[in-house]
Structures are given as structure tokens and as C-alpha cells.
Amino acid sequence: MGDQPVDLSLEALTAAVNAARQGFAAAADLDATMDKHPATPASVLPARELLADLLLELNQPDAALKEYKEVLRTDPNRFRSILGEARAAKQSGDAAAAHDAYQKLVALSKPAGPERLELAEAKAYLTN
């Protein structure tokens, strides 16, 4: 670090984001090859789901949707991935896919206390 100035140009920031994305993708690919511990039926936070979250934050909903679908291929009822799929589909303009994902989220969730914010989001989408 020292006395060297930090490059905060758009090109430098874009390069840093792309490097981070490549790192997340590599981690997701590696995570997919690893055996799960017998006491844990699925990843607590799968690397591919984290990659999809990052892509959604970077306003890349089509790429995020692809990654969420990949997580759901192996863990079909994963709450966070279904929610991410719904949000990514909504942001990418795929109303039918967003509707289907939000509907699945509501169907999978049983009332067990105060309603989660995510379910309120899903129900609000489905009523509009």
C-alpha cells in the first residue's frame, strides 16, 4: 500500500469487479465438486447462490437467474434460491418466471410465526 495512490477509475473498479466475479465463479465450480458432510444435507450458503446474489447486486439479473437455476437443480426447494430466482426474473422482465417462483415460495412456506418479509414481498407481487 504505502504512498502509492489507489486507482479509483471506472476501468480499475470494473476490472476489480470482474476479478471478484471470476473468483466467485471458480469457488462455485469447486463447491459443486465437493461432497457434502453427512450431518448437513445441503450447503448452508452455497457458493453458486452467493455468486448469483453478487450478480443480482451488480444489476446482471440474466446471469444471476442462470446461477439460481443451477442451485435449484440440485436443491429444488431452497428458499433463498427461489427468492433470488423470483427477484432476478422480475428484474430481467420475465414476469411469468417471477410469478412462478414467487408462487412456489409462498406454497413452500408454512406459517410458523410472524410472516417473513420475503413472503410479504412474494404475496405483494402475486396480488399485483
Residue 64 falls within a domain, yes or no? yes
As for how many domains the chain has, the answer is 1
Residue 2 falls within a domain, yes or no? no
Measured N-to-C along each axis, helices 79-92 and 117-127 cross at an angle, to the nearest 10 degrees, of: 40
Residue 5 falls within a domain, yes or no? no
Residue 103 falls within a domain, yes or no? yes
According to DSSP, residue 75 is labeled S
CA 85: distance to chain centroid?
A: 7
Q: What is the CATH number of the domain that holds 27?
A: 1.25.40.10
Residue 113 falls within a domain, yes or no? yes
Measured N-to-C along each axis, helices 117-127 and 95-108 cross at an angle, to the nearest 10 degrees, of: 130
CB-based contact 91:103 (threshold 8 Å)? no
- 86: domain range? 10-33+44-127
Task: Count Cα atoms within 13 angstroms, Cβ side, for 125.
Answer: 25
pLDDT digits (tens, 9 = 90+) for 16-41: 777 777 877 777 777 767 666 656 66
pLDDT digits (tens, 9 = 90+) for 48-75: 898 899 899 989 999 999 999 999 998 8
